[in-house]
Structure 1
Amino acid sequence: MFKPLPLFVGLRYTRAKRRNHFISFISLTSMTGLTLGVMVLIVVLSVMNGFDRELKQRILGMVPHATISAAYGSIPDWQTLVNQVEQHEGVLKAAPFINNQGMLSAGGRVKGALIYGVEPAYEKQVSIVEKHIKSGSLDQLKGGEFGIILGDILARQLGLSTGDKVTLVLPEATTSPAGVFPRLKRFTLLSTFAVGAELDSNLAMIHIEDAARLKRLDGGVEGIRLLTDNLFEAPRLAWEVANSLPGRYYVRDWTRTHGSLFQAIKMEKTMVGLLLTLIIAVAAFNIVATLVMVVTDKQADIAILRTFGATASTIMGVFMVQGAVIGVFGTLLGVLLGVLIAPNVPELVGALESLLGTQFLSSDVYFISYLPSQLEWSDVGMVASAGLVMSFLATLYPAYRASKTEPAEALRYE
């Protein structure tokens, strides 16, 4: 079967046993470095994708994709407005809400919190909080009973357990003949939720009727939150919905409240990827060193090939093939290991935590208590391409040097 001379000789050089074992060692080191670089880069990018996914699911599963709030006063007939909003294309569900801020006090401890008034039947359709309530459900919240559901971390910071009383201090004052007093209201802790995000430490939920009484809205609501079918279309969609409704409304979306967080994650992924690509670059430089030594070792062979009529481009092709073999095998092996390891990172880290008896990610400090991972084939393709391109570029200089070998000089002392 016909084989081009550069390919035939290059593959033969790759398989041949060398007199200089140091060159073989450097070749193996180059391939191993390339394999490890590609594998680590795929695994790290997958972990970054996992964190991005978890943050989107947890944070954006709790906070509204977009909200439409009354420009003046409240929205009295909110049921009709919710039905109108849900008819708009791109809106999956809608729910009323009332926001308030205050201080929660219990046992001498005081913590600031966002007090979120919800209608349980509607809130379950737009939020993931129902899945993360530790005991019971949102249906425990009933108008007029002044029950409250707290984030798990917030409840622990206040030293509360289910059934305990907690006092809400509102940032308003009530004037009486006895003087000026802050507005206070006692609530009963019904349950806690843990979504594994910062909301566990600053969010409290009460029934929308109780929230309306606290904010003196006479049964109305402050606004409507939207659940959209496309996160990135939420800003445009919210404006379209608001413009289609009678009256004036303020519009707010997740890109204003949490957009900077996800932009930071995206930038961090890019920077980490660029830094880890240097590992592949180092392995590529090892290929340069390997081929330079091979060229020096094969001076006599090159001279003989040249005397038999091999052109400079043929000699150059021989060593480019040899370097490319190292690059292709190293890259493919790294891709294989990365693809096998990346999806199993949570299990591997969990096993390591069990073995060492420690937890790397504490839920008290971090958003989530485990190391997530999400393998994306676009990242795999990008990393593999980077490895192959760097390996190819690394062959150019040594191959060029080989093509400039003078037969007479090389064979003078043979």
Structure 2
Amino acid sequence: NAVDPLEEAKVSIIGNFFKQGSLDALQPGQFGMVLGDKAAAKLGVGLGDKVTFVAPEVTVTPAGMFPRLKRFTVVGIFHVGAGEIDGHLALTHAQDLARLQRWQPDQVQGIRLKFADLFEAPRTALALAQTLGEGDYYARDWTRTHGNLYQAIRMEKAMIGLLLLLIVAVAAFNIISTLVMVVTDKKGDIAILRTLGATPRQIMAIFMVQGTVIGVFGTAIGAVLGCLAALNISSAIAALERLLGIKFLNADVYFIDYLPSQLMLADVLLVCGAALILSFFATLYPAWRAARTQPAEALRYE
């Protein structure tokens, strides 16, 4: 791909992933090239080595037809972590490739746009293509190039959310069992409170508050531990891979070779809210049983 290094930084973060060299090393007229580390390994080249580029065109001369060749110098090697990019992407300066392809000055074959909201890309790109003229221009957004990956990630996120909800539900059942045991063990105390004038509603409120407090403390501890794990999971997995000498995610098999993590407040609030709601509902049955305790029956054998 041909890029303008000054403009590329506005639409791409590839400049943050260079192992050697930098994107700024692409200077017009020097025919430099930056490429992924996997592509460099396949070609057997390193920083400062030459790579011969063969254009998909031929030059007609009196001696016959010859392919158009040009030697580029490797001025940078990057590692994004995605096998598709690291193994197949090479960038050079737009002016150098324009000279090789014999384009007009400042002629380009396409432009890239970056949106603040990535979900606006399909609609806006199509609208731009229609405005410019669909017969002469076409638009290709990320949903066409990596749409299947996005759909797979969204489905996995939904399934993981369902699994977390089931885990929280199991924990809520533990609250039920704990409170049922407390009610059974404290029947005598409950009966004494009833004889002293406590109403069933007050007894029920006592056990609901107890169960809710357990749920609040458990949710708070889980939220703190979960946030800490989400913020440090990438570095922790990388350290574990170095310690064990095992690569859990291989870029040749998966799209990326590291475990990304982004802490989202909306997801944290959703999980914590679901946990608190389930904890509250888990207190209703044990509290109802406690409220139904009959003093005479409970104190018969006391």
- By the TM > 0.5 criterion, same fold? yes
Q: How much does 1:392 deviate?
A: 1.2
**Segment of structure 1 superposing worse, 372-381 or 128-137:** 128-137
In the alignment, which residue of structure 1 is the partner of 2:215? 327
**Residues 150/182 of structure 1: CA separation in 2 closer, same or farther (3 Å cut):** farther
SS in 2 for 1:251: coil
State whether structure 2 residue 69 is matched by structure 1 residue 185.
yes
- Go from structure 1 to structure 2 and tell me whether the alpha carbon gap of 1:331 and 1:129 turns closer, same or farther (over 3 Å shift): closer
**Alignment match, 2:114:** 227
Q: Indicate the residue corresponding to 1:268 in structure 2.
A: 156
C-alpha spacing 1:234/1:329, structure 2 compared with 1 (3 Å): same
Residues 1:151 and 2:33 aligned together: no
1:203, distance to aligned residue in structure 2 (A): 0.9
Query: Does the CA contact (< 8 Å) of 1:124 and 1:138 recur in 2?
Result: no
2:113 corresponds to which letter in structure 1?
Answer: L
Task: Tell whether the 8 Å contact from 1:117 to 1:207 is kept in structure 2 after alignment.
Answer: yes
Kept after mapping to 2: 8 A contact 1:288/1:394: yes
Please report how far the alpha carbon of residue 186 of structure 1 lies from its aligned counterpart in structure 2 after TM superposition: 4.5
Structure 2 equivalent of residue 358 of structure 1:
245
Q: Does 1:160 align with 2:16?
A: no
- Structure 1 residues 364 and 339: CA distance shift in structure 2, 3 A: closer
In the alignment, structure 2 segments of 5+ residues that lack a partner are none
Q: Secondary structure at the match of 2:298?
A: helix
Supply the distance in 1 between the matched residues of 2:179 and 2:116 (Cα, whole angstroms): 54
Q: Which residue number corresponds to residue 205 of structure 1?
A: 91
Contact 1:153 1:201 in 2 (8 A): yes
After the TM superposition, which residues 214-253 of structure 1 pair with which residues of structure 2 at under 5 Å, given as runs? Answer: 217=103, 220-245=107-132, 248-253=136-141
With the length of structure 1 as denominator, give the TM-score of the two structures. 0.60
Check the 8 A contact 1:167/1:184 in 2, yes or no. no
SS at match of 2:139: strand
Tell me how far 1:312 sits from its aligned partner: 2.8
Answer whether contact 2:53 2:72 (CA < 8 A) is retained.
no
Q: Mapping of 1:34-73 within 5 angstroms?
A: none
May I ask how many residue pairs the two structures share in their alignment?
296
Q: How far 1:408 sits from its partner (Å)? A: 2.6
Rounded to whole Å, the distance in 1 between the matches of 2:16 and 2:67 is 33
1:117 and 2:5 equivalent? no
Q: List per-residue Cα deviations over 1:173-208 (Å, max 9, x = no partner).
A: 7899999x8846253342322233231111122343
Q: How many angstroms apart in 2 are the aligned matches of 1:292 and 1:182?
A: 86
Partner of 2:192: 304
Q: Which runs of 5+ in 1 are unaligned?
A: 1-115
Q: Select 2:171's aligned residue among 280, 283, 286.
A: 283
Q: Greater strand percent: which structure?
A: 1
- Provide the residue aligned with 1:194 in structure 2: 79
Q: Is 1:140 the counterpart of 2:140 in the alignment?
A: no
Give identity over the alignment, percent: 55
Structure with the bigger RCO (C-alpha within 8 Å, sep 6+) is 1
* CA distance in structure 2 between the aligned counterparts of 1:261 and 1:182, rounded to whole angstroms: 41
| Cα contact 1:319–1:398 (8 A) shared by 2 | yes
Q: Is the 8 A contact 2:36 2:89 kept in 1?
A: yes
How far, CA to CA, are the matches of 1:316 and 1:126 in structure 2? 60
User: Which has the larger displacement, 169-178 or 205-214?
Assistant: 169-178
Question: Which of residues 380, 383, 406 is equivalent to 2:271?
Answer: 383
AA partner of residue 85 (structure 2):
L
Amino acid at match of 2:87: S
Contact 1:317-1:399 within 8 A present in 2 as well: yes
Amino acid at match of 2:300: R
Q: Is the 8 A contact 1:291 1:395 kept in 2?
A: yes
